[in-house]
Amino acid sequence: MRWTRSLIPTLREDPADAEAVSHKLMVRAGLVRQLAAGIYVYLPLGQRVMDRVNAVIREEMNRLGGQEITMPVLQPAEIWQQSGRWDKIGGEMFRLKDRNQRDMCLGMTHEEVIAWLAAREIRSYRDLPQIWYQIQTKERDEARPRSGVLRTREFLMKDSYTLDPDATALDVSYNAHKRAYCQIFDRCRIRYIVVDSDPGMMGGSGSHEFMAPSAAGEDEIATCAACGYAANVELARGVPAAAALPPASLSETGPREVATPNARTIAEVAAQLKVDPARTIKSLVFLVGDTPVLALVRGDHNLHERKLARALGAEARTAHPEEVVKHLEASVGSVGPVGSKGITRIIADESLKGGVYVVGANRDGFHLVGVTPGKDFTCEWADLQVALPGEGCPKCGKPLAVERVIEVGNIFKLGTRYAEMLGATYLDEQGQQKPIVMGSYGIGPARIAAAAVEQHHDADGIIWPWSIAPFHVHLVPIAVKDAAQMAATEAIERALTGAGFDVLMDDRDERAGVKFKDADLVGVPIRITIGNALAKEGVVEIRERATRAERKVPRDAVLDAVREIAKALGMA
Ligand code: ATP
Ligand code: MG
């Protein structure tokens, strides 16, 4: 491909709104452009990267026995009503009506269509197992589209679904998928960690996420270097250090009111009363629909909203200060679990079992000391707290680390829920009707591309892994008006292309410095410079993007040299 005939709009400056490295570099290298919030155009280089990522995914899915299909983006409401998700999913689903006022939606995932299809096409145990997959557009009205292509409202997903007769067979399908995913991420040169995760709105009995460490990630995982434990912080439970004992004056039990003038935050209260913040309780008011719920965590901990949702069995949102006053007749800073008005449900983090604590008194300017959870107020116990670095690993007790990650893929054991709701059954060997056991597996190709950029770049630009690079070789003739140089460049281009390499030639009449800068930015693994040394010594210069290692190679030896480097870089 020739640069002068291509759309490769590189930029010198970072886009103003970009924070993530991958966002900056993918825009600057001319891979993508944003049409509207979370809606992107893939330009030729971006498209080539996506094609290569998808090719890797397809190969591994086919190797697994997956059969590629295409399901519609536009879907009737009925199947979502049957599964129960039409009402359960909130603003994330794009909904619309057709010309006959029938409810429709844009597919944010395809479990319903799969179960619908299985209900019609699978009859007997002889039809099972099945693996169906697609690489298809998903539409989700994400609350916070951000970080370039990492979280968009329209995106490509490889989604696959397994249909099995029973849970044992599902385990086999699930584990095979897990291996295929490792293969895909390994081939794309993504560093990743497989973690236990929360099945969330998918429901089901088990799930794992594939997490690529990166500062641009929106997820956090807790890991233990000692025993290999790894879990999403949505699920991880560290063993917190014990709270310091309160001073003698505050350790006696029986709630007693003390004045805490102007102390609103945990830090202020702890400082005034001279207690460890871990001896105070953070009382947080959430609303489930219109019903207020009080959630309690230790003063030095933070609450994880997904953990709360799991404990409640429903989504909850933080109450606004006015709503707190309206429901509890107390201000946000003074809310507490003893004698709180308007609260019928209190959920406390397990770390609050045992010991005495300082809590809000539901009266401005005062706190209660000597409060024993479970005795001075009744509550349900649950795991609510965000795992913190340094807390004990739940498996081995050694300190946990917490790191930011990009979720590049996930796998779920769905079980029979969708099959039951949509009537996807089969007849077993005894002629008995049984629900099909499903699994669901997703990968975001754009997140693979962006995670690769996050993990493989330097100050000058992207360093594409060989397997997903938009081109393999970037030819830079220095003097495009020099006929001999151009002829040599074209000969190299023909030789490389003929051998199966993808070649980009920068045939612009630009200064060498400009072309080199763009080559570094775009990040093609091998750059070949055809300049003065060709006429003088009969050599061209081959440079590896990753290591910047340069070598002079006779023009006739270019193909062999490229083959050798390609092999070292992991060409399959
Ligand atoms: P997240 O927790 O990041 O919102 P998710 O759990 O909603 O992800 P799934 O519905 O399981 O994700 O989708 C499967 C895969 O699709 C994800 O692992 C991710 O790679 C990709 N993906 C999900 N949402 C987006 C998005 N908004 N933009 C780009 N890729 C996405
Ligand atoms: Mg999501």
| pLDDT tens-digit series, residues 81-97 | 999 999 999 999 999 99
Residue 410 CA, ligand 2 centroid: distance in Å: 11
Looking at all shown ligands, the one closest to residue 146's CA atom is 1
Confidence at residue 237, expressed as pLDDT on a 0 to 100 scale: 85
| Ligand 1 atom nearest to 408, measured from its CA | 20
User: pLDDT tens for residues 343-378?
Assistant: 989 999 999 998 899 999 999 999 999 999 999 999
- Ligand 1, atom 31, lies closest to the CA of 444
**How far are the Cα atoms of 70, 128, 163, 300, 363 from residue 131, in angstroms, in the given order?**
13, 9, 7, 47, 60
Nearest to 61 by CA among 173, 139, 170, 168: 173
For residue 572, give both structure tokens: 């399959």
Name the closest-CA residue to atom 14, ligand 1: 442
| 99-145 pLDDT tens trace | 999 999 999 999 999 999 999 999 999 999 999 999 999 999 999 99
How many angstroms separate the alpha carbon of residue 310 from the centre of ligand 1? 20
Please state the atom number of ligand 1 nearest to the C-alpha of residue 151. 28
Ligand nearest to the CA of 208: 1
- For residues 349 and 38, what is the distance between their CA atoms, to the nearest angstrom? 36
**Which residue's alpha carbon is at the smallest distance from atom 8 of ligand 1?**
407
Give nearest CA residue, ligand 1 atom 3: 407
Q: For ligand 1, atom 20, name the residue with the nearest CA.
A: 444
Q: Which residues of the chain fall below pLDDT 50?
A: none
In this predicted structure, what is the pLDDT of residue 354?
84
pLDDT at position 116: 98
The model carries a pTM of 0.89
Give buried/exposed letters for 56-87 (b at 16+ CB in 10 A, else e).
bbbebbeebebeeeebebebbbebbebbebbe
**Which helix (DSSP H) or strand (DSSP E) does residue 120 occupy?**
helix 111-121
CA dist 223 and 459 (Å) reads 29
pLDDT computed for residue 571 by the predictor: 81
CB 305 within 8 A of CB 347: no
Ligand number with the minimum distance to the CA of 153: 1
Long-range contacts made by residues 101-104, C-beta under 8 angstroms, separation at least 24? 102/76, 102/77, 103/76, 103/77, 104/74, 104/75, 104/76, 104/77
Q: Quick one: three-class SS letters along 239-251? A: ECCCCCCCCHHHH
Query: In ligand 1, which atom is closest to the CA atom of 153?
Result: 27
Q: Which atom of ligand 1 is nearest to the CA of 200?
A: 6
pLDDT at 202: 54
The binding-site residues of ligand 1, defined as CB within 6 angstroms of any ligand atom, are: 109, 140, 142, 151-152, 155, 157, 407-410, 442-444, 446-447
Whose CA is closest to atom 9 on ligand 1? 442
Residue count of the chain: 572
pLDDT in tens, 10-62: 999 999 989 999 999 999 999 999 999 999 999 999 999 999 999 999 999 99
- Mutating to test ligand 1, I would choose from 34, 89, 157 the residue with most ligand atoms within 8 A of its C-beta, which is 157
- Distance from the alpha carbon of residue 571 to the mean position of ligand 2, in angstroms: 33
Ligand 1 centroid distance, CA of 444 (Å):
6
Ligand having the closest approach to the CA of 140: 1
Q: Identify the residue whose C-alpha is closest to ligand 1 atom 16.
A: 444
CA atoms of 66 and 341, how far apart (whole Å): 57
What phi, psi does 39 have (nearest 5°)?
-130, 120
